[in-house]
Amino acid sequence: MMKNYISFLLLFLSVVFFGQTYKTIDTTDYKQRKDFIKSYSLNNELLVKSLKARYSGKTGGELSKIYNELGKDFEKQVKNKDFIFNSVFDAKVKDIIGRLRKNNPQIPENLKILIAKDNTPNAYCFADGTFVINMGLFNWLNNDSQLAAVISHELGHKITEHTLKTFLGLINQNQLDKMVVQDIKATKENRNQRAFSVLKNRVYKKGTENRKQEMQADSLGYTVFKNSDFKRTEFINTLKRLEDFDTISPKELKVETYKKFFNLPKQEFNDKWLKKEDFSLYNYNHFKSKLNKDSLKSHPEITLRINHLKMLFPELKTEVADEKASESYAVLEKTARMETLPNFYHAEDYGIGIYVSLQFLQDGEEEEYYKAWLGKCFSKIYEARKNYNLNRYLDRVDPKNQSKSYQQFLNFMWNLSLDEIKNIADYYQKES
């Protein structure tokens, strides 16, 4: 007990002095990755064999292809170091699953935990029991109970085999569509319109089925959640928190921030860098989508999901403020926050990395740390600009889908010359 307490205290102190001592999470875990891939590959083979035995004919063959392709893609992600092993987050997730399983024997025993180097608050579970938790969940959610709510929702998908049912539906729909397409080919009238109707109906149907599954996972997930020792109202608070992630406007990056961090000793700030491209003459209303975007959404609106849960479970109608994070969760939350830039860098999102670094610097957070990441990301932007592939790492301005602050940032980045980018990269790399 004392040993665990000392370990936690040392970890907590390392967080307090992040500015001086924080180092990104070590991913030199070749042996763990190799062992995991070997185990995952074997389990996937067994899964495919069981599906072939369970579903005969074309259905079994198609399922085999799907799961083999998914397995190969996932193994590539593991080899690419998209996940971390034996991390500080593992113990927390295992503890939460243990607390959920205590009064829920239907939760599988063979779950394997992987933490993804992904800043989006999401989680998902593979058919073999591999449970992936994005690091962004720790950064965005507020406490253990909210993390347990997300895990419970994903367990709902797992227990009801939603993924398998989705694949079976796609295989069946493929067979039906083939017959319709053959009929369309046999006639000459309205071919394009009829073909588009097939596509539209398929897309809408898929969206409807996915929304239905999300509602089911919410209901079953809450049933699992309420049987444990977590605070029930946090299930609703979690959904609200995730809604904030989908709808919240990015923090504005002030002009003063650009001038503060890009007015360098050997390169003065140039106001021309902030010049914006004029899109006012283009009327975006000329384009009208043939597909109803609301029908394409696979996840129903959070408000609908919350109201559905309150209707099924009246105890959720009483709203309570978020509970305070435990000390252990606060440590992980801080770690996930500090890993935001390493995760963007790993994903080659160098433009976003610069934008987010500037936001942290604007707030006065860990200045030396984020200046170092400015240097690293600008160095990659310089290489991309020099090799004429900057579009791969930096968005183009899109007024219809981007905040004004992000548009200003993109204009700034595209206005910089090759030499100016190099000077910024060199300066911040020397500073770090």
* Residues ≥6 apart with Cβ < 8 Å to 18: 334, 338, 366, 369
What is the token pair recorded at 431? 């500073």
Q: Provide the CA 232 distance to its chain's centre, in angstroms.
A: 25
Distance CA 142, CA 241 (A): 9
Find the range with the poorest average confidence among 2-6, 27-31, 209-213, 277-281: 2-6
What is the token pair recorded at 137? 């969940």
Q: Would you mind telling me the total number of residues written for the chain in this entry?
A: 432
pLDDT tens digits, one per residue of 45-58: 999 999 999 998 88
More confident residue, 195 or 72: 72
Local structure of 301: helix, strand or coil: coil
Mean pLDDT of 93-113: 91
More confident residue, 27 or 170: 170
Q: Are 143 and 322 in contact (CB under 8 A)?
A: yes
Mean pLDDT of 57-62: 89
pLDDT for res 152:
96
Find the range with the poorest average confidence among 63-67, 71-75, 124-128: 124-128
Q: Are 140 and 320 in contact (CB under 8 A)?
A: no
pLDDT for res 92:
94
Sheet with strand 112-116: strands edge to edge: 83-84, 112-116, 130-134, 123-125
Mean pLDDT of 219-231: 96
pLDDT tens digits, one per residue of 263-272: 999 999 999 9
- Percent helix, strand, coil in the chain, to 5, is 65, 5, 30
Strand segments, DSSP code E, in 229-356 are: none
Confidence of residue 431 (pLDDT cuts 50, 70, 90): confident
309 — alpha (psi -120 to 50), left (phi > 0) or beta?
Answer: alpha
pLDDT for res 3:
37
pLDDT over 50 (residue 12): no
More confident residue, 291 or 190: 190
pLDDT over 70 (residue 366): yes
Distance CA 410, CA 423 (A): 18
pLDDT for res 197:
67
* pTM > 0.75: yes or no: yes
pLDDT over 60 (residue 2): no
Q: Are 235 and 316 in contact (CB under 8 A)?
A: yes
pLDDT for res 112:
87
Mean pLDDT of 357-371: 93
Find the range with the poorest average confidence among 3-7, 250-254, 290-294, 310-314: 3-7
Q: Are 209 and 166 in contact (CB under 8 A)?
A: yes
pLDDT for res 174:
73
Distance CA 146, CA 170 (A): 33
More confident residue, 116 or 289: 116
Distance CA 242, CA 257 (A): 29
pLDDT for res 192:
65
User: Look-up: residue for tokens 């307490």?
Assistant: 5
pLDDT over 90 (residue 245): no
Longest distance between any two alpha carbons in the chain, whole Å: 80
Confidence of residue 11 (pLDDT cuts 50, 70, 90): very low
Confidence of residue 289 (pLDDT cuts 50, 70, 90): very low
Distance CA 37, CA 286 (A): 50
Q: Are 81 and 28 in contact (CB under 8 A)?
A: no
More confident residue, 93 or 201: 93
* Residues ≥6 apart with Cβ < 8 Å to 294: none
pLDDT for res 201:
65
Distance CA 211, CA 216 (A): 9
pLDDT for res 331:
94
Distance CA 207, CA 201 (A): 10
pLDDT for res 7:
38
pLDDT for res 204:
60
pLDDT for res 248:
64
pLDDT tens digits, one per residue of 329-348: 999 999 999 999 999 999 99
More confident residue, 317 or 290: 317
Distance CA 292, CA 288 (A): 10
